[in-house]
Structure 1
Amino acid sequence: MNEYAHIFGADNGWCRAHPLQTKGQAAEALSTLFNRDSVPPALIVDGAKEFVSGDSKKHVQQAGCDFRTTEPYSPWQNTAKGTIRELKKGTARVMLQTGIPKRLWDDCLQHRAYIRSHIALNIYNLDGEVPETVMTGQTANIGPWCDFQWYQWVKYYEETASFPDDKMSLGRYLGPSPGIGSLLTGKILKHNGNYHHTSTFRALTSKEMADYAKKRLCNDFNTNVNDKLGDKAKPEDFSEDDLTPTYDRYEDDSGEGLDLIVGNSRARVRTNEVLLGLTKYLWKIQVYMD
């Protein structure tokens, strides 16, 4: 079970998260970063012992990376601080929305770091690009990160299953598997709480999700996972700074726009404009088809 995470972040929003069992594995996280994402020109760290002494500093210097430290008691000089704040908020939000066990926090954090690196952010020096594109100089491939949702129900091919068991087993999607197989390889959570890495899996169809027997299998799956990994995350498990605030609506806020208010003259004008535009569009299609 991982208790820590080594987070690397840049001022353009790019980030990576590497879960660790102990702080002494910081050097291993650096090796993973250098192998998968290349060696950065400089690495700026705070005064944590695992960074400024031991194998980590030596490993950075041997890789030809400029090793720098921030001024004591100056957290604003470390870009990773803001990245950590946003990652913790995003991870907490996803964990509460999907109801995953708390023990899967490290997988969710790692997944959110990749997602943040591949989406548009309101950061000036991105110049309209996503962080991954700016860091690599190549158009980011968002396919592995948008084909499936986090913790989505999937069916994967279980090689060890034997007759009469179905080889397509039920599982939960935990994101791509960096460093294992191809970009299409996914990390699947099994009913016993273990992981399975495979590229042979698919999402459940809407018909399967509506099937009563399949719902029972899903409920049994959740029960087994909670028994193995523990209870699902709750708001009280996070600090207030890590939670995304929710706001109450005003009493006169119906959630609808001005154009949808019944009896409003502007609404009638808007409706006429829509109908007129639709008529023109259909007329053009008719002419083209003839």
Structure 2
Amino acid sequence: MDTNADFCSLGKNFVIMSYTPRLADVYAYDPALPPTNVPIVSGATAYDCPQSGNTFILIFKEALYYGNRLDHSLINPNQVRKFRIPLWDNPFDEMRNIGIKTKPIFVALKAKGTKLLFDSRAPTDQDLANCPHIDMTSKVPWNPGTVQLGKVSIVHKDPIDDPRSNEAELRQLDPIMQGMNEWRTVQQTIVDGERFFQQVGRMDDDARFADVPVRPSFVSTERHTKATAENLSERLGIGLHRARATLRSTLQRGTRSAILPLARRYRADRMFLRPRLKGKFSTDTAYFNHKSIRGNIASQIYFHKSGFYSCHHLSKVDDKQVGPTLKKFIADYGIPEHLTMDGAAVQVGRNTSFMETINRAAINYHISRPYRPEENPAEGGIRELKRRFYRLIVKHAIPQRLWDFVLDYVVDTMNITANYSRYSDGRVPLEVITGITPDITEYMDFTIHGWVYYQTDGALGTNKIGRWLGVSHRTGPMMTYWILPKSGRPISTDTVQNITETEK
């Protein structure tokens, strides 16, 4: 139990049941430290009841998930009480045992110093499938800054009702005072009845009595999204603090015209020279469990500690495909001054295309030792990339065969999103690497795997419906997008409109 915690914070003894579309900016006690972006989830932990010997799954909704970064979990008792579950955490209360009273079981708490706790563990798949589930907190979005907790009412007793008072003795002797006491009882009953019916009349409008699903944090009925922190937070799945920092560090000058059906106006594409990129870059191969709709099984990732990524998909991990990825990276962004990689044969082999490019471009390189992932920063970068990747896959129910489109989208949005890396100095990663302030207009109107109208005949035919899969950088002009049509074969078109909430 932790009354200082604004949210229930879930550690390694929890597993995620579902994600919410929201993130929280968590600030440390030291105001000089940057906030941490933490997902808000519904998590489950297994509680082995010592009385019955049975296992129960405790579900905590609207909680922050830290996973293995937190070796214990923190439970906000007020968040549990708000869900109308009695929780007693006063160890000096002689009338009640400390614990949580749910309908099927009583979760006993034990004291360890000044802390109160109970033992639980991460549930197995068998536990989740066979054991009873108990909801411990509400699914209504929890906002610790605006939540209204119950008020403590002070009852003023009449001295006549106090058996220790002199008036109590008079009441027993004087029949007039006995009659007055009976009249007070009747009068109080009438007042309490009126208050009860007034309270019932207000229940339907009181949010405290409505534990129902709510709409996403920010839902717009407009076709074109305004460049606000709230809209950007919802589109890219980042916290408000990061969204505001991103808007300050990027441009939003692109325009999308609606004068004609599905028409648009566009600018010239951004062109890059081949400068020498200062700083240390790293690279590694990320593998995926499914063969994509485009036939890819892996992706070569280039990473910089500012949070910059570049991904190049591979249908086969061999020299013919891994080697050209470095040439593409140089063509897109420039020549890295330093490159770290592992000892994979397709990269460090004497006659590989990869090493040939390194030598011709005069790139200073370092090969990490076997089983030393900490020597290659790309290893950690890929972990963070996949964490966000799988979050989108689950959130939007995206088929696994579209993984390369989703990965492209994650890389693109992370490159134009402000982060808290000390290497970025408040700028977005793409600007750190290229020196050019990016324009994020292409990403403002659409959500990955969201429904859109599109046309492929110059806006002269009828609207078709498809799924938005991201920006098509190498086909067509700026503001050209990948669309998944009914046929299931992705196409690239620049005549695209978002489907609004009212049209769905």
TM-score (norm: length of structure 1):
0.67
Structure 2 match to 1:189: 484
Structure 2 match to 1:51: 347
CA 64–26 in structure 1, closer or farther in 2 if over 3 Å, else same: same
Query: What amino acid does structure 1 have at the position aligned with 2:306?
Result: N
Q: What pairs up with 1:53-202 in 2 under 5 angstroms?
A: 53=349, 54-159=352-457, 167-202=462-497
Greater RCO, 1 or 2 (C-alpha within 8 Å, sep 6+): 1
Q: SS of the counterpart of 2:423? A: helix
Q: SS of the counterpart of 1:83? A: helix
Question: Structure 2: how far apart are the matches of 1:71 and 1:18?
Answer: 24
Question: Structure 2: how far apart are the matches of 1:146 and 1:172?
Answer: 16
Structure whose CA Rg is larger: 2
- 1:33 equivalent to 2:33? Answer no
Question: Structure 2: how far apart are the matches of 1:42 and 1:102?
Answer: 34
Identical aligned residues as a percent: 31
Give the CA deviation at 1:73: 2.6
Q: SS of the counterpart of 1:150? A: coil
Question: Structure 1: how far apart are the matches of 2:446 and 2:333?
Answer: 23
Unaligned runs of at least 5 residues, structure 2: 1-294
CA 146–80 in structure 1, closer or farther in 2 if over 3 Å, else same: farther
Unaligned runs of at least 5 residues, structure 1: 210-290
Question: Structure 1: how far apart are the matches of 2:335 and 2:306?
Answer: 17
Q: Which has the higher strand share?
A: 2
Q: SS of the counterpart of 2:336? A: coil
Question: Structure 2: how far apart are the matches of 1:64 and 1:156?
Answer: 46
**Quick check: 2:301–2:312 contact (8 Å CA) kept in 1?**
yes
Question: Structure 2: how far apart are the matches of 1:158 and 1:20?
Answer: 28
Query: What amino acid does structure 2 have at the position aligned with 1:184?
Result: M
Question: Structure 2: how far apart are the matches of 1:102 and 1:160?
Answer: 31
Tell me how large the CA RMSD over aligned residues is: 1.9
**Quick check: 1:61–1:67 contact (8 Å CA) kept in 2?**
no
Structure 1 match to 2:296: 2
CA 85–156 in structure 1, closer or farther in 2 if over 3 Å, else same: same
Give the CA deviation at 1:169: 1.2
CA 172–128 in structure 1, closer or farther in 2 if over 3 Å, else same: same
- Count matched residues: 206
Query: What amino acid does structure 2 have at the position aligned with 1:71?
Result: R
Q: Could you give the per-residue CA deviations for residues 189-233 of structure 1, whole angstroms, max 9, x where no partner exists?
A: 111111111111111133321xxxxxxxxxxxxxxxxxxxxxxxx
1:22 is aligned, of 310, 313, 316, to 316
CA 39–147 in structure 1, closer or farther in 2 if over 3 Å, else same: farther
CA 146–27 in structure 1, closer or farther in 2 if over 3 Å, else same: farther
**Quick check: 2:335–2:361 contact (8 Å CA) kept in 1?**
yes
Structure 2 match to 1:270: none
Q: More deviation in 134-143 or 62-71? A: 62-71
**Quick check: 1:13–1:123 contact (8 Å CA) kept in 2?**
yes
Q: SS of the counterpart of 1:15? A: strand
Query: What amino acid does structure 1 have at the position aligned with 2:307?
Result: G
Question: Structure 2: how far apart are the matches of 1:31 and 1:178?
Answer: 17
CA 26–205 in structure 1, closer or farther in 2 if over 3 Å, else same: same
CA 49–100 in structure 1, closer or farther in 2 if over 3 Å, else same: same
Give the CA deviation at 1:72: 3.0
Q: Which has the higher helix share?
A: 1
Query: What amino acid does structure 2 have at the position aligned with 1:177?
Result: S
